[in-house]
Amino acid sequence: MSPPDARAEAGVTGRRSVSLVIIASVVAGAALYFAQEIFVPIALGLLFTALFRPIVSALSRFNIPAPVTATLVVVGVLAMFGGSIWLLAGPVKQWVSEAPQTLAAARGKLDKIRRPIKQVSQAVGKAQKEVTGGTEKPTPEAAPGATGSSASISPFLGRVFASTTGILGTLLQTIVIVFLLLATGDLFSRKLGAVMPKPVKGTARDAVDEAEGVMRRYLVVTVLIAAGQGVVIALLFMLLGMPSPILWGVLTLVLECIPYLGALIMVAAITVTAFASFEGIGQILMPPLAYITVSTIQNNLISPFAYGSGLRLNAVAVLLVVLAGWFLWGPAGAFVAVPLLAGVKILAERTDRNSTLATVLDE
């Protein structure tokens, strides 16, 4: 085969490979999206199994069977979860009851701001009509009850409560998966290591254990950092006079576990609440600026030190995978995206010394 023919055949093969990768990615994305009721509990189950496996391993040294240890872990986690809900029931109930008044106050202030702008716009329109000799059409007035707070709150609450069944179903499936994986000991890790390609260093089981350790470290460090930031935010909001400062601290703990998007949601919610609660521009801007300042310090000073070199990922890759996870699986997808990505990076590095995927994901 002549060199030109070889180059032409190589180009056709390359284009065919790219096309196959694109088709496979689209098919995989569609499968993950339409079968999210199946994949979301599996992903969450794998993640929480990696988190709680050291407890099972530690108790197994005292000759406690794995099923018994798994039962203790699941029951203990459910007890903590139920206790947290019970403690937060009061603040959440108060926040939900005050939400219509808060939104109504924010809407009233926005109307005050828009009224002078609307008057100026009407004056300009009237002047243009006089210049051109046209007649001004009366502006239709909105119905008095159209801007009621209950009209906008009811559909939102309906969507929230409509998703409760799906959330509880996902939670139940995740609990069952975590229990089964913990109760069977290291069976899943051994089976996964058996089907993996031979790593360039060590054994496949070592690579699986390392990936699991990276995911576990990410979860622990993320929760600890988010909890510390939540405490700081609660204290600052007490000083600034924000309503329900403890609830804002809890929301910080929950949403900061979702990279990028969680902080964006928090800033938007804080801004709306501050706008509805305070009158002066300085008082309105202080809460969101305080949150942005604390979040910036956390992201640039605390997180790089806490995560260490083993969890350093390409920021662009992290953002893209978080957005993809949110699009495919909602908040659960955004939550599991980064630790699973870190685990995939470790497996790619151990199975191929020159892995392109690991190079792309590296910082």
pLDDT for the residue 160:
46
Q: Is residue 315 part of a domain?
A: yes
Q: Is residue 87 part of a domain?
A: yes
Name the nearest CA neighbour of 315 among 306, 303, 297, 326.
Answer: 303
Is residue 307 within 8 Å of 213, Cβ to Cβ? no
pLDDT for the residue 149:
45
- Total domains in the chain come to 1
In this predicted model, which residue has the larger pLDDT, 169 or 13? Answer: 169
Residue pLDDT, tens place only, 181-196: 999 888 888 888 888 8
- The DSSP secondary-structure symbol of 302 reads I
Residue pLDDT, tens place only, 263-281: 999 999 999 888 888 888 8
Query: What Å distances lie between residue 206 and 14, 170, 210, 347, 350, CA to CA?
Result: 34, 31, 6, 10, 9
According to DSSP, the residues that pair with 313 across neighbouring strands are 362
Q: Is residue 338 part of a domain?
A: yes
Residue pLDDT, tens place only, 317-343: 888 999 999 999 988 999 999 999 989
Phi-psi region of 260 (alpha: psi -120 to 50; beta: other; left: phi over 0): left
According to DSSP, the residues that pair with 362 across neighbouring strands are 313
pLDDT for the residue 229:
95
Q: Is residue 31 part of a domain?
A: no
Residue pLDDT, tens place only, 234-257: 999 999 998 888 889 999 999 999
Q: Give the separation between CA 183 and CA 65, rounded to whole angstroms.
A: 8
Q: Is residue 94 part of a domain?
A: yes
Residue 177 belongs to domain spanning: 36-119+166-361
Is residue 170 within 8 Å of 34, Cβ to Cβ? no
Q: Give the separation between CA 149 and CA 102, rounded to whole angstroms.
A: 9
> Is the dihedral angle over the CA atoms 99, 101, 102, 106 positive or is it negative?
positive
- Give first-to-last CA distance, the chain, whole Å: 42
- Model pTM? 0.76
In this predicted model, which residue has the larger pLDDT, 111 or 40? Answer: 40
Is residue 252 within 8 Å of 233, Cβ to Cβ? yes
> Distance between alpha carbon 34 and the CA centroid of its chain, in Å?
19
The mean pLDDT of 161-178, rounded to a whole number, is 80
* Total number of residues shown for the chain: 363
Q: Is residue 289 part of a domain?
A: yes
What percent of the residues of the chain are helix, what percent strand, and what percent coil, each to the nearest 5? 85, 0, 15
Q: Is residue 25 part of a domain?
A: no
> Distance between alpha carbon 230 and the CA centroid of its chain, in Å?
16
Q: Is residue 197 part of a domain?
A: yes
Is residue 334 within 8 Å of 325, Cβ to Cβ? yes
Q: At 190, phi and psi to the nearest 5?
A: -65, -40
Query: What Å distances lie between residue 153 and 26, 62, 119, 141, 266, CA to CA?
Result: 37, 54, 29, 22, 19
